[in-house]
Chains A and B, each alone.
Chain A
Amino acid sequence: MDSVKHLRFDVAVVGAGPAGIAAALAAADSGRTIGLIDDNPTAGGQIWRGAYNSARPSASSIWFDRLNKSAVQIVRGARVFHAAAGELAAESDDSVIQISYGKLILATGARELFLPFPGWTLPNVMGAGGLQAFVKSGLEISGKRIVVAGTGPLLLAVAAYASKCGAKVIGICEQTTRPKMARFGLKMMLIPDKAAEALRFAYNLRSIPHWTDCWPVAAFGNRRLETVRISRQGQTSEIACDYLACGFHLIPNLELPRMCGCRLRESFVAVDEYQQTSVSGIFCAGEPTGIGGLELALVEGEIAGYAATNWEDRAKHLFAKRARHQKVVRILQDAFPLRPELKNLARPDTLVCRCEDVPHERLCEHASWRAAKLHARCGMGPCQGRICAPAAEFLFGWQIDSVRPPLFPVRCSSLVALSSHSAPRN
């Protein structure tokens, strides 16, 4: 049986991306005990993936430096799978960890929205952020031909990054319209901190074609991706490539906030001005409260960290800064709405649920997510609907209902070990 570890923190922070790191550091100023819990092998989350151990200085270095010098206890490789009655349960490679806390800060980040189209399950069709994550994790892409597709500013970042790493980025397929894209660029230029970033992107991307009103229609290949068919302003064409990096913007990771009982507002965690959720003593920062990017995540994290340690004055000083960065949330929402044509990409036999291989035609028979789960096993595999449920929400307009423990598949021995040590109660 796995061993059970017990940890107790005045403030527990779940998620060691920018929001979580900023929250933990702000909370640590109070001198209280702070735990920073993350499922990855190193801190940094997605945007700072691979930066923690990098010798190269970057924007994240100053934060990692502060983290290393702080008293924050980092609990790496720990997947939180249950939350109840003021306790979290997490599983690591060799043990179960019971974490009790005074205050809890949720900084669970976001993932990409994937939409099914014929061939999207082929090897080497990846998320846009997904491909970037693999490159940051060591994947060599020098000389590889890459098509970047989907929607949102992440595509620009991924294309610029892949190009810098020596890949041949054939083109960026952006589903939004050219006027919307142009307005997005102009609005971002008016935000002081974003103007420099926008110009840098424009410079780095100057040799890469950027197609608007453009999206992938199908991917083909024998055992792995060989070509992608795209629709571009109504015309289809085929492009030979090694990787298709495709994501339709970001969606918040709400599983843990929901399990904690936090109320949602328009598909995000509802928070007050101190980043406190509807549950007293539980705070939330970063993308789960609205997709707004790095700077907003950092300032929300700091506010949550100060508020969780009763340092309201310090938190208040950051309200104006947060308001400035919150403008980005609205700009992103307006610029990249998903067009209805994307609902028609999946053919009857296109898989929607990749874990249980459930095709689109099996879902059409049902009226709700719940019915589709019960009758077709959609969302019943190991990812527990993390990939197919958001797709089904877009395709069919279904409401995705409850979450249940365990939040991730866990070893039987973890459940047994936990139950014999007074498991969290529902």
Chain B
Amino acid sequence: MSESISVRVNGKIVSVRAGSTVAVAVLASGATCRVSVTGQHRSPLCGMGTCFECRVAINGEPQRRSCQVLCEANMEIETNG
């Protein structure tokens, strides 16, 4: 077993493999990442930083592309979804 790491997604503790991206933690939590300009729930599409569907707030900083950020212990992740 590889080492795991815990973060919070909308207050809920989620455990992921060390080295996972924040997008993976959000997917694992069951939350969606963002709500679109017409109110649709969205989750990641491209996985490589181009589609911007995976935007969430990380440690209070909004609009971060969660597929480009690695999870760190006790990170606070907030989604709109």
Q: List residues of chain A with CB under 8 Å of any chain B CB.
A: 39-41, 46, 50, 53, 77, 111-112, 114, 121, 123-127, 129-134, 137-140, 223-224, 253, 354-357, 381-383, 386-387, 409
- How far is it, in angstroms, between the C-alpha of A126 and the C-alpha of B24 when the chains are bound? 13
B21 touches A387 (CB 8 A): no
Could you tell me if B43 and A138 are in contact, using CB atoms closer than 8 angstroms? no
Contact of B67 among A124, A132, A137, A381 (CB under 8 A): A137
Structural contact, A223 and B50, CB atoms closer than 8 A: no
Which A residues lie within 8 Å of B50 (CB)?
111, 253, 383, 386-387
**Are B45 and A387 in contact, CB atoms less than 8 angstroms apart?**
yes
Contact across chains for A133 and B42 when beta carbons are under 8 A apart: no
Residue of A nearest to B47 (CB): A133
Q: How far does the alpha carbon of A41 sit from the alpha carbon of B19 in the complex, in Å?
A: 10
* Interface pair A127/B49, CB less than 8 Å apart: no
Docked pose: A88 CA to B17 CA in angstroms: 35
Interface range, B side: 20 to 34
| B27 at the A interface (CB under 8 A) | yes
Cβ 8 A contact of A138, one of B24, B37, B51 = B24
Give bound CA distance, A235 to B33, whole Å.
Answer: 35
A125-B45, A224-B43 given; 13 more Cβ-contact pairs under 8 Å:
A123-B32, A126-B46, A130-B45, A134-B23, A134-B24, A134-B44, A137-B19, A138-B21, A357-B38, A381-B52, A382-B52, A383-B52, A387-B46
Which secondary structure characterizes the binding site on chain B? loop
- Contacts A39-B49, A39-B68, A111-B48; A138 near B19 (Cβ below 8 A): yes
Whether B67 lies near A138 (C-beta < 8 A) is: no
Q: Which of B24, B32, B45, B63 contacts A137 (CB 8 A)?
A: B24
Interface residue ranges of B44-69 to A (CB < 8 Å) = 44-53, 55, 63, 67-69
CB closest chain-A residue, reference B55: A382
CA distance A138 to B70 in the complex (A): 10
Interface contact B36-A354, CB-CB below 8 Å: yes
Assembly CA distance A39 to B63 (angstroms): 16
In the bound complex, do residue B51 and residue A129 qualify as a contact, i.e. CB atoms below 8 Å apart?
A: no
- 10 interchain residue pairs of minimum CB distance: A138-B20, A133-B47, A123-B43, A130-B47, A382-B52, A138-B24, A357-B38, A137-B21, A383-B52, A386-B50
Please report the C-alpha to C-alpha distance between residue A140 and residue B29 in the assembled complex, in whole angstroms. Answer: 12
Residue B13 at the chain A interface, CB threshold 8 Å: no
- Contact across chains for A139 and B27 when beta carbons are under 8 A apart: yes
- Indicate if the CB atoms of B52 and A355 lie closer than 8 Å: yes
The answer for the CA separation of A426 and B42 in the assembled complex, in Å, is: 36
Residues of the B chain whose Cβ atoms lie less than 8 Å from the Cβ of A123? 32, 41-43, 81
| Interchain CB contact under 8 A, A127 and B43 | no
Query: For residue A140, which residues in chain B have a CB less than 8 angstroms away from its CB?
Result: 28
Q: In the complex, what residue of chain A is closest to B16 when comparing beta carbons? A: A138
Task: Point out which of B47, B49, B70, B81 has the most chain A C-beta atoms below 10 A from its C-beta.
Answer: B47
B47 and A126: CB pair below 8 A? Answer: yes
Closest to B64 in A: A93
Cβ contact within 8 Å between B41 and A46: no
Residues of B within 8 A of A386 (CB): 50-51
Instruction: For the complex, give the distance between the alpha carbons of A132 and B48 in Å.
Output: 10
List of A residues within 8 angstroms of B44 by Cβ: 126, 130, 134
Q: Are A223's CB and B41's CB within 8 A?
A: yes
Question: Given A53-B19, A357-B36 in contact, is the A41-B70 Cβ separation under 8 Å?
Answer: yes
Of the A-B pairs whose beta carbons lie under 8 Å apart in the complex, a sample of 9, sorted by A's number, is: A40-B49, A121-B42, A123-B32, A139-B28, A354-B53, A355-B52, A357-B40, A386-B50, A387-B46
From B45, B47, B63, give the contact of A132 (CB < 8 A).
Answer: B47
Within 8 A of A (CB), among B4-38: 16-17, 19-21, 23-24, 27-28, 32, 36-38
A253 to B37, CA, bound (A): 26
CA distance A126 to B68 in the complex (A): 16
Which residues in B have their C-beta under 8 angstroms from that of A133?
46-48, 67
Q: Are A130 and B48 within 8 A (Cβ)?
A: yes
Q: Which residues on the B side are within 8 Å of A137 (C-beta)?
A: 19-21, 23-24, 47, 67
A387 touches B20 (CB 8 A): no
Contacts of B45 in A (CB 8 A): 114, 125-127, 130, 354, 387
